[in-house]
Structure 1
Amino acid sequence: MRRMPTRAKVEMAAYGASAAALAVVPSMEVLPAHAAAAAISGGSLWWLYRKAKTGDFARTIRSAQRLLGPVTGGVVYAAAAAAPGRPWWEIAVALGWGGVMAAWLPVTRSTWTPPAETGGPGYPPGFTGLVMRLWDDAEVAPGTWLEDIEQTVSPEHPDFTADVVALAGKPVPRLSDVDIAAAFGVPTACVTLADKPGHGPGRLRLTVAPTRRRGGGIEEVWAEVVARPGGAIPGSKIVHVKTFPAQGDLPARGMVLAEVEPGEVARINHEQLCSAFGVKAEELRLVAQSRGREALVTLYESAPLKGARRATRELLTLDAYGRYTIGTAHDGTDAKVHMQSAAGTFHGFLVGVTGSGKTVALALMCAAWALAGLANWVTSARPDAQMTAVGRHVDRQGAGAIFTWWMLKAAIALMDIRGRINGEVGHDFSGHSPYPGLVLVLDEFNSLVGDEALGDEIAQMTDVLAREGRKFGIGIVFAGQSLNLSKLGGEASLRDQVQGGIGVVLRIASASGGIAARQATGGLAGDVDIAEIPDRFNASMSLMDRMHGTVDDVPGETTQGVGHTVTGSEAVMMRTLYVHLPKDGSPDGLGEIFPEGGGINTLTEREIQELTELGLWHDWTMPPPSAGGDSGDAMPAFTGVEAGGGIGTLAPPPVAVKAKKATVKEQVLAVVDREMTAKEIRGLVDAAAGTVRNALSDLVTDGKLRQVDHGVYAPVHAPADV
């Protein structure tokens, strides 16, 4: 039985009231009533005319059904109003109109619907309820029902497993695959009903897999595609399968836990795994993690890392375990990293190509160190506007090989100073030390150690600090598009020092999965399997689309900040927190994450005083002292520490710093001593024509040259009529 819904009852009552009004009101000389009837009927006709002009035939028909009552009622009203007196047929026509309208409710307005309660079993919402209802409606095995229904592929696929359960003390009938397939509308080969391990005949395991080959369940498909020799996870077998519905911004997901045989280690080929599950690697919907002999595969309905969370001081403040949140993991949890490794070092590494979000990640790290009370020195190969903005919130920040040489030299001497302090307090660096922890960030490390004059010395001092800095509270964080540690002696020992600390791998140069990660991090990421991160979500077009000539020039969303946190042999896909860090010098959001009030952590007065006495506490921009040369003008090497008296006595570079070549702008300023054409200037300057032209434009903008006419330049103070 079906019952009339409330909406239909209301509509029928309206037809009854309108019929009564049509039988009486038209014969009355009531102008407002006539006007209202004309407005309703005329407005309905005008609306129907507008729908007809759109050319959408289906919508016009639906509108005509909806407006049938007001339009025909207007016709009846007009006929009754035009007839003199009150003839008998007016009442008959009005009542007949009401009966016809009530008997034929337009299907697009009010339809008969099933009752809310039918006396049958209530089903849960979604896919689970649908499967249970289909089983009951088909009456394949009366007296049985389904439990533990789980989708095995993804929420978008109808493949599922379920337990068929009989009444207590009764077995599940041996059912025909044909009957089961008919109940769910799938091919017979896609259905399997088998005994469930650990249970009797009263509970059997049903597998329905219409989208899988050969009708097998996920266990069979896993064995055929994933676990086979040369597969995505060779030798693995499924331990558990579980699905989760969407939660907030986190899309629905299915998870598969698998393991390999004891004595083996699970190895994951990410691209093969994506192929096995029918997804594109660049969608970033599939995440795989391995730990020992276990592997956890998570397949999301959509990419889970498209949104970035704004950074706050609370997230960057250390928790009770000495960790801070650097981003959001793919499963919606906080992606945390330790401030110190288990060995007590502040070492770490950060790798990412241009545009991957490396500078933002460095800013987050510096803020976390500042909130924890650590001092921070930052250097990079070249000046950078964003790092300069970070530099306003840290103790020391600069760029270039010279700045880096002085910074490392000061840190080496600081170890000697802190060694004496350690002797006074009776312990190495700890949270109770009278001096703060210090983290040195070496951005674009490859370029710094590749400097022709100072690179070898930078590498040597970095190696010393990485090995011996722990007991003096000094850490090294290597950063760059890739890391080449070949200049540092004993790489294996260095990896042991650095691996346990913070490790972040963002988008790296495209190569082949984990091999690229090992190469890009100079081995610091160990043998961890890291999936490649594309520059955009869904960045590529399928070959089928290309074959059909599909044109899609809408770029995907950027993956800036998407990468992995790496700790030991474990990697977690995540997206770093977001902080506004513009490239144009406009106001940034760094003040929201660094310590409130703008305070900057520095060395102690004693440390600064001793570094000053050693000649190491200045702006670090002057050329390093020469170890000895033919010129008596060379700056003498400092002698603040006795020869051989400590690690702070590391000799300065044995080669004199090469004379700096004049820049193009400096050459232009040197030759322009009168009004000169651009052609004359280009003939006297050792640079490409385009570079000279740009330099002239910049010098005019900076007010260092004056443009007399098009292509004619003169010194600023030269007379205008020269």
Structure 2
Amino acid sequence: MATIATVTVPRRTPRRVYLERATYLGAAIGLAILPNADLTPATLGAHAAIAGAAGLGLARAWRKAQNLDASSLKTSMRALPFLSAAAVDGAALYLPGAGWDALIAGGWGVSMALLAPLSRSGRPLRQAVEVLEAIEEPEPEGEPEGGPEDDADEFTRTIRAMWERAALPGDTRLYKVIRHSPDGLDFTALVKAPDGKPVPELKKRDVAAAFGVHAEAVTIIESTGGPGWAEIAVTPDAWEAERDKPQTDADWWAHNIGREQGAAPGSTRTGKAERPGVVHHFAKMDDPSEPVRINMRKLCTAFGADTDEMRVFVTDRGNEFLVSVFDQPPLADTVHATRELITPNREGFFRAGTAFDGRPVNGRLYLPGGAAHALLLGASGSGKTQLVIVYMAADSLDGATVWGAAATEDAKLRLAGAHVDRLGFGTLYMVRLLRTAVALMDIRGRMGQKVGHDWIPGAPDNAYGRLSLYLDEFNAATKCPRYGQEITQLGERISVQGRKYGIGIKVSGQDGKVDDGQTSTMRNQLRLNGRQITLNVGDVSAVRRAFNGLISAEDMPEPLPQEYGGSTLTLQQIADGAEDPEDAQGIGGIGWVVRGGKPVLMRTLYVDLGGDDREQVLADLFPDTIGRLTDEETTGLGPLLDDWYAPDPDAEEGAGESSTGRRRRGGGTKKAAARDRVKTFLDMMPGADLDLVLNAVAEDGLTEADITAAYNELTSE
């Protein structure tokens, strides 16, 4: 049974009672003086008025007395002052001496003041004040009765006193307290602000504290009487009865999820779907304009799960959302990569992984406007190398020529070298790959003129095939003192111009940081014309860098745990010193793909590169035939396709770079730098024309005039 703390409140005397008592005392003085005054027309008129008032009161009381009820008693009480005044006046006329007159008149005044019959019979002495209040401020429907100054029962006076004791803002007062049942504690009341002021915003917690009840037992209702009024319903009995009755799913949701401090405040459950191993809860926000706001920690707790278990997932669409609760972590299931899964379809899509809800996660090799890029992020141990190999195999199955370069040696990635056209390691290898790709764009431009178009996906008359460049640890390569700046510039150029020539870049790295290596232009090209898959990148800062500019701050995911799933000890088992079972799983291959501007948790396809049969595993993934360039492309590139591991001629001649990355030859002038770059290129391609040289060696700080002058000088020697 709900309880409300009570206080003892002294009964307050209304102001109209004081007014009536003062009137009686004044009239008593008149009754004492009037019988001893000279008989004049004025005194005779006063005697006649008293007698007439008494006669009218007696006649009305006699008529009402024919039907004895509460109304006849009220009329008799109202007639009592006039009848008794007439009796005092008549007695004073016959009693000798003024002393007796004063005595009986004083006794009458005191008696009437104590009884106050007019006030006790409910005569509306404040009618004028109430009329003024009605003019100043509109009343709510059903004019409130039972104001603070009315006679009220003990329950009402206690409720008002508790409200005043709470000192709620705005100096508000309670009117029309309606008790829902004679012996219950539930009630409804009107809240009124001082005249001319609005009722301040009422909070459920403040109202609940005033009456010592639970906040959920309070309802605040907007009154129809304007801003000066509000209505509250305090129902502890009804709330306890509702709480104790058997709960429906909707009741559970409202109490645990949709409440004010819940996991999804302001939401309502709309449906439920059960599938083997998973339960889907459909919900929406009560306010259609309110976006979905989810506290994942509270949501997992409400469903009896821990965030590290990765069993609870949310998918939202506008103001509606779906909560999926799995019996077991869905990403614990490993899907092995097979040639059938990763073979691209006509639109260039291939299977790269599986989302938490079982739907495929696809990579893409080309778009309607040209080759597609990709951005693959993941720290060491995240499964990034496996994902890169899946991409390489999909490209190869589509017939593309695959070139790969990594800033540092990677034994697992090296295994793929037997199945692609070119794969090597080191920054020199990477810069030569990029130089060759830039030169190839110029050659392909001339080849496209012969067929009337650049590379078009699926076109039967394409002059050349697709080329896919894989640049692993690209950001690390851009920090190389000798080649870093050139790698940055060439990578950006290919990301912007290469797609129409069928050249796509797949950049992979441990961090999504955009700094003096990977430029923001290149990052935007990779995202706009490709797909980003983000595996475990580390802490909060790394996650934000990876998704910065890709999703909104509200949708930023929490960092992945170090492990997930496994057995969880109870608190009692921990207190007893039980040993941790250590059966949790690692998060290799788990990450996010962005769908509709939202990060979706996924797991990449698994490629076993640790077993003794790893070479056979790759042989089963890649096609038997390796994609190559056409003879025309090979002839045009000439020496650029020579050994990319060969020593750098500039390094042998001592013409390297200082620690700041600036060339020392030629006094560091721009003309000398241009001559060095052009000479290196002509050594590899002796017959290259000026346009090809301009496209290959252009970089910041080297003008077309300097490059042209160097070319003319070297070719004339």
Scaled by the length of structure 1, the TM-score of the pair is: 0.54
Amino acid paired to 2:252: G
Contact 1:271 1:281 in 2 (8 A): yes
**Of the candidates 674, 692, 695, which is equivalent to residue 648 of structure 1?**
695
Amino acid paired to 2:634: I
Q: Say if 2:514 is the partner of 1:479.
A: no
Counterpart residue number, 1:556: 584
Counterpart residue number, 1:629: 665
CA distance in 1, matches of 2:325, 2:313: 7
Contact 1:241 1:255 in 2 (8 A): yes
SS of the equivalent of 1:383 reads coil
Counterpart residue number, 2:476: 447
**Of the candidates 278, 283, 286, which is equivalent to residue 309 of structure 2?**
283
Q: Say if 2:538 is the partner of 1:509.
A: yes
CA distance in 2, matches of 1:499, 1:416: 24
Give 1:458 shift: 0.9
Q: Say if 2:270 is the partner of 1:240.
A: yes
SS of the equivalent of 1:476 reads strand
TM-aligned CA distance change 1:303 to 1:422, over 3 Å: same
**Of the candidates 336, 350, 355, which is equivalent to residue 362 of structure 2?**
336
**Of the candidates 218, 222, 226, which is equivalent to residue 253 of structure 2?**
218
Task: Point out the structure with the larger helix share.
Answer: 2
Amino acid paired to 1:649: A
Give 1:412 shift: 1.1
SS of the equivalent of 1:327 reads strand
Contact 2:369 2:500 in 1 (8 A): no
CA distance in 1, matches of 2:409, 2:551: 28
Contact 1:286 1:299 in 2 (8 A): yes
CA distance in 1, matches of 2:303, 2:472: 39
**Of the candidates 618, 630, 650, which is equivalent to residue 643 of structure 2?**
618
SS of the equivalent of 1:256 reads strand
Give 1:303 shift: 0.8
Q: Say if 2:674 is the partner of 1:638.
A: no
Alignment of 1:133-282 (within 5 A): 189-191=243-245, 207-208=247-248, 216-224=251-259, 237-238=267-268, 240-246=270-276, 251-259=277-285, 265-266=291-292, 268-282=294-308
SS of the equivalent of 1:305 reads helix
Aligned length: 436
CA distance in 2, matches of 1:623, 1:271: 56
CA distance in 1, matches of 2:493, 2:374: 15
Give 1:452 shift: 2.0
Q: Say if 2:414 is the partner of 1:388.
A: yes
Unmatched segments (≥5 aa) in structure 1: 1-185, 193-206, 210-214, 656-722
CA distance in 1, matches of 2:341, 2:545: 31
SS of the equivalent of 2:424 reads strand
Q: CA RMSD in A?
A: 3.6
CA distance in 2, matches of 1:261, 1:420: 60
TM-aligned CA distance change 1:588 to 1:286, over 3 Å: farther
Give 1:289 shift: 2.9
Alignment of 1:296-445 (within 5 A): 296-341=322-367, 344-431=370-457, 432=459, 433-445=462-474
Give 1:347 shift: 0.9
Amino acid paired to 1:532: P
Contact 1:507 1:533 in 2 (8 A): yes
CA distance in 2, matches of 1:507, 1:408: 28
Q: What is the CA deviation profile of residues 271-300 of structure 1, one whole-angstrom value per residue up to 9, with x for unaligned ones?
A: 443244332111110122345544332111
CA distance in 2, matches of 1:311, 1:585: 15
SS of the equivalent of 1:509 reads coil
Amino acid paired to 1:430: I
Contact 1:310 1:579 in 2 (8 A): yes
CA distance in 2, matches of 1:531, 1:473: 37
CA distance in 2, matches of 1:388, 1:451: 22
Contact 1:322 1:340 in 2 (8 A): yes
TM-aligned CA distance change 1:259 to 1:496, over 3 Å: farther
Amino acid paired to 2:503: I
Give 1:645 shift: 5.5
CA distance in 1, matches of 2:304, 2:506: 39
CA distance in 1, matches of 2:596, 2:290: 18
Give 1:386 shift: 0.6
TM-aligned CA distance change 1:466 to 1:492, over 3 Å: closer
Q: What is the CA deviation profile of residues 688-720 of structure 1, one whole-angstrom value per residue up to 9, with x for unaligned ones?
A: xxxxxxxxxxxxxxxxxxxxxxxxxxxxxxxxx
TM-aligned CA distance change 1:647 to 1:577, over 3 Å: farther
Amino acid paired to 2:493: V
- Structure ID, larger Rg: 2
Q: What is the CA deviation profile of residues 528-577 of structure 1, one whole-angstrom value per residue up to 9, with x for unaligned ones?
A: 54353323223796794655533204241222212222346133322222
Q: What is the CA deviation profile of residues 597-620 of structure 1, one whole-angstrom value per residue up to 9, with x for unaligned ones?
A: x2111211111111115x344334
Give 1:637 shift: 1.8
Contact 1:345 1:473 in 2 (8 A): yes
TM-aligned CA distance change 1:510 to 1:312, over 3 Å: same
Identity over aligned residues, as a percent? Answer: 30
TM-aligned CA distance change 1:573 to 1:647, over 3 Å: farther
**Of the candidates 588, 593, 602, which is equivalent to residue 565 of structure 1?**
593
TM-aligned CA distance change 1:645 to 1:389, over 3 Å: closer
**Of the candidates 543, 559, 565, which is equivalent to residue 538 of structure 1?**
565
CA distance in 2, matches of 1:594, 1:309: 18
Q: What is the CA deviation profile of residues 117-146 of structure 1, one whole-angstrom value per residue up to 9, with x for unaligned ones?
A: xxxxxxxxxxxxxxxxxxxxxxxxxxxxxx
Amino acid paired to 2:482: A
Counterpart residue number, 1:97: none
SS of the equivalent of 1:368 reads helix
CA distance in 1, matches of 2:403, 2:375: 15
SS of the equivalent of 1:589 reads helix
TM-aligned CA distance change 1:191 to 1:571, over 3 Å: same
**Of the candidates 584, 609, 629, which is equivalent to residue 581 of structure 1?**
609
Give 1:462 shift: 0.9
Unmatched segments (≥5 aa) in structure 2: 1-239, 656-662, 703-717
TM-aligned CA distance change 1:239 to 1:342, over 3 Å: farther
TM-aligned CA distance change 1:539 to 1:644, over 3 Å: farther
CA distance in 2, matches of 1:399, 1:441: 11
Contact 1:326 1:336 in 2 (8 A): yes
Alignment of 1:7-46 (within 5 A): none
Amino acid paired to 2:275: P
TM-aligned CA distance change 1:473 to 1:537, over 3 Å: same
Contact 1:449 1:455 in 2 (8 A): yes
Contact 1:501 1:567 in 2 (8 A): no
Q: What is the CA deviation profile of residues 194-229 of structure 1, one whole-angstrom value per residue up to 9, with x for unaligned ones?
A: xxxxxxxxxxxxx436xxxxx94213432226xx5x
CA distance in 1, matches of 2:570, 2:649: 58
Amino acid paired to 2:665: G
SS of the equivalent of 2:388 reads helix
Give 1:408 shift: 0.8
Counterpart residue number, 1:63: none
Amino acid paired to 1:338: R
SS of the equivalent of 1:600 reads coil
SS of the equivalent of 2:496 reads helix
Give 1:324 shift: 1.0
Contact 2:535 2:589 in 1 (8 A): yes
CA distance in 2, matches of 1:500, 1:270: 32
Contact 1:422 1:429 in 2 (8 A): yes
TM-aligned CA distance change 1:494 to 1:506, over 3 Å: closer
Contact 1:457 1:653 in 2 (8 A): no
